[in-house]
Amino acid sequence: MATRVLDQHDVRAVGHGEKTGLWSWITTVDHKRIGILYGTTAFIFFLLGGIEALLIRIQLGSPENTFLSAERYNELFTMHGTTMIFLAIMPLSAMFFNFMIPLQIGARDVAFPRLNAFSYWVFLAGGLFLNSSWLFGLAPDTGWFGYANLTSTQYSPGLNVDFWMIGLQVLGIASLAAAVNFFVTIVNLRAPGMKLMRMPMFVWMSFITQVLLLLAFPVITVALFLLMFDRFFGTHFFVPSGGGDPILWQHLFWIFGHPEVYILILPAFGIISEVLPVFSRKPLFGYAAMVFSGVFIAFLGFGVWAHHMFATGMGPIADAFFALSTMLIAIPTGVKIFNWMGTMWGGSLQFRTPMYFAIGFIAMFIIGGLSGVMHASPPADLQQTDTYFVVAHFHYVLFGGSIFGLTAGAYYWWPKMFGRMLNESLGKVHFWLMLIGFNLTFFPMHFLGLNGMPRRTYTYPKGLGFETLNQIETAGSFLLAVAFLVFLVNVFQSWRKPRNAPADPWNGATLEWSIPSPPQEFNFAEIPVVHGRDAFWEMKRERRGPLPEPARVSGRGIHMPNPSYWPVVAAIGVLAVLLSLMFLPHFGPLGVVVAAGVLFLGVFKWAFEPAG
Partner 1 sequence: MPLRTTAWRSSRLVAALCLLTLVLAGCSPEHYPQTTLLPRGDFARIADDLLDTTVKWAVLVFVLVEGALVYSIFRFRGKPGDSEPHQTHGNTTVEIIWTVIPALILAAIAVPTVQAIFLTNATPKADALRIEVVGHQWWWEFRYPEYNLTTANEIHVPMGRTVSLHMGSADVIHSFWLPQFAAKRDVFANRETRLWFKAEVVGEYPGQCAEFCGIQHARMGYRIRAQKPEEFQAWVAHMQTLAPKPPPAAKPAPVPKPAAGARSDQEVRTASAGATVQPVAGQGPDYATGEKLFQAKGCVACHALYAVNAPKGMIGPNLANVGARSYIAAGTLKNTDENMARWIQNPQVIKKGVLMPNLGVTEPEARALVAFLRAHQ
Partner 2 sequence: MAAVAHEVPHGLEHATATGLDSRKLAIWTFIGSECLFFAALISNYLVNKGRSLVGPFPHEPWTSPTGEHFKPILEIPLVTLGTALLLFSSLFVVLALSGAQRGSRKALVGWLAATIACGVFFVGMQVYEFSHFVHEGLTLKTNLFGASFYVLTGFHGTHVTIGVIWLVTLWILAARGKIPPSKALNLEMAALYWHFVDVVWIVIFPVVYLIK
Instruction: Say which DSSP state 552 is in.
Output: P
Q: Does 545 sit near partner 1 (CB under 8 A)?
A: no
Binds 70, which of partner 1, partner 2, none (CB < 5 to 8 A, cut-off by type)?
A: partner 1
In a 3-state reduction of DSSP, which class is residue 531?
A: coil
User: Of 66-74, 89-97, 191-199, 564-572, which part binds partner 1 (CB under 8 A)?
Assistant: 66-74
201: left (phi over 0), alpha (psi -120 to 50) or beta: alpha
Q: Does 593 sit near partner 2 (CB under 8 A)?
A: no
- Helix axes 316-344 and 246-280, enclosed angle (nearest 10): 10
48 within 8 A of 130, measured Cβ to Cβ:
no
Binds 351, which of partner 1, partner 2, none (CB < 5 to 8 A, cut-off by type)?
A: partner 1
Q: Does 451 sit near partner 1 (CB under 8 A)?
A: yes
Binds 612, which of partner 1, partner 2, none (CB < 5 to 8 A, cut-off by type)?
A: partner 2
User: Of 172-180, 469-477, 564-572, 590-598, which part binds partner 2 (CB under 8 A)?
Assistant: 172-180
Q: Does 532 sit near partner 2 (CB under 8 A)?
A: no
Residue 568: CB minimum distance to partner 1, A: 37
- Helix axes 287-300 and 246-280, enclosed angle (nearest 10): 170
Q: Does 521 sit near partner 2 (CB under 8 A)?
A: no
In angstroms, the CA 537 to CA 292 distance is 23
227 within 8 A of 238, measured Cβ to Cβ:
yes
Map the footprint of partner 1 across residues 358-387, applying CB under 8 A: 359, 362-363, 366-367, 370-371, 373-374, 376-380, 382-387
Q: What is the largest CA-CA distance in the chain?
A: 80
286: left (phi over 0), alpha (psi -120 to 50) or beta: left
Residue 581: CA count within 13 A, CB half-sphere: 21
Binds 365, which of partner 2, partner 1, none (CB < 5 to 8 A, cut-off by type)?
A: none
Mapped to the 3 state alphabet, what secondary structure does 70-111 carry? HHHHHHHHHHHHHHHHHHHHHHHHHHHHHHHHHHHHCCCCCC
How does DSSP assign 265-310, residue by residue?
HHHHHHHHHHHHHHHHTSPPTTHHHHHHHHHHHHHHGGG-GGGG-G
> For residues 175 and 402, which CB has a smaller minimum distance to partner 2 in the complex?
175
Mapped to the 3 state alphabet, what secondary structure does 424-445 carry? HHHHHHHHHHHHHHHHHHHHHH
In angstroms, the CA 374 to CA 393 distance is 10
Residue 311: CB minimum distance to partner 1, A: 5
Instruction: Say which DSSP state 209 is in.
Output: H
Using the rule CB under 8 A, which residue among 6, 128, 349, 560 binds partner 1?
Answer: 349
Using the rule CB under 8 A, which residue among 45, 73, 144, 237 binds partner 2?
Answer: 237
Q: 387: which strand partners?
A: 454
Map the footprint of partner 1 across residues 218-257, applying CB under 8 A: 240-241, 244-247
Q: Does 342 sit near partner 1 (CB under 8 A)?
A: yes
Q: Does 242 sit near partner 2 (CB under 8 A)?
A: yes
In angstroms, the CA 338 to CA 499 distance is 38
608 CB-near residues (< 8 Å, 6+ apart): none
Map the footprint of partner 2 across residues 534-573, applying CB under 8 A: 557, 559, 561
Using the rule CB under 8 A, which residue among 27, 153, 235, 459 binds partner 1?
Answer: 459
Map the footprint of partner 2 across residues 105-134, applying CB under 8 A: 108-109, 111-113
Binds 439, which of partner 1, partner 2, none (CB < 5 to 8 A, cut-off by type)?
A: partner 1
Residue 275: CA count within 13 A, CB half-sphere: 29
User: Which of 439, 431, 437, 386 is CA-nearest to residue 407?
Assistant: 431
User: Which of 344, 342, 393 is CA-nearest to residue 367?
Assistant: 393
Using the rule CB under 8 A, which residue among 43, 443, 484, 536 binds partner 1?
Answer: 443
In angstroms, the CA 295 to CA 400 distance is 22
Q: Does 157 sit near partner 2 (CB under 8 A)?
A: no
In angstroms, the CA 168 to CA 253 distance is 12
Residue 502: CB minimum distance to partner 1, A: 18
Q: Does 79 sit near partner 1 (CB under 8 A)?
A: no
Q: Does 582 sit near partner 2 (CB under 8 A)?
A: no
Residue 461: CB minimum distance to partner 1, A: 7
Using the rule CB under 8 A, which residue among 10, 71, 245, 609 binds partner 2?
Answer: 245
In a 3-state reduction of DSSP, which class is residue 465?
A: coil
In a 3-state reduction of DSSP, which class is residue 403?
A: helix
User: Of 84-92, 144-152, 203-211, 226-234, which part binds partner 1 (CB under 8 A)?
Assistant: 144-152
Cα of 584 vs its chain's centroid, Å: 33
Q: Does 225 sit near partner 2 (CB under 8 A)?
A: yes
Using the rule CB under 8 A, which residue among 17, 234, 546, 588 binds partner 2?
Answer: 234
> For residues 8 and 241, which CB has a smaller minimum distance to partner 1 in the complex?
241
> For residues 56 and 213, which CB has a smaller minimum distance to partner 1 in the complex?
56
Using the rule CB under 8 A, which residue among 85, 122, 223, 539 binds partner 2?
Answer: 223
User: Of 229-237, 281-289, 342-350, 396-404, which part binds partner 2 (CB under 8 A)?
Assistant: 229-237
In angstroms, the CA 474 to CA 457 distance is 16
Binds 35, which of partner 2, partner 1, none (CB < 5 to 8 A, cut-off by type)?
A: none
Binds 453, which of partner 2, partner 1, none (CB < 5 to 8 A, cut-off by type)?
A: partner 1
Amino acid at 562: N
Positions touching partner 2 (CB under 8 A) are: 1-2, 4, 108-109, 111-113, 176, 179-181, 183-184, 187-190, 194, 214-219, 221-223, 225-226, 229, 233-237, 242-245, 248, 252, 255, 527, 557, 559, 561, 604, 611-612
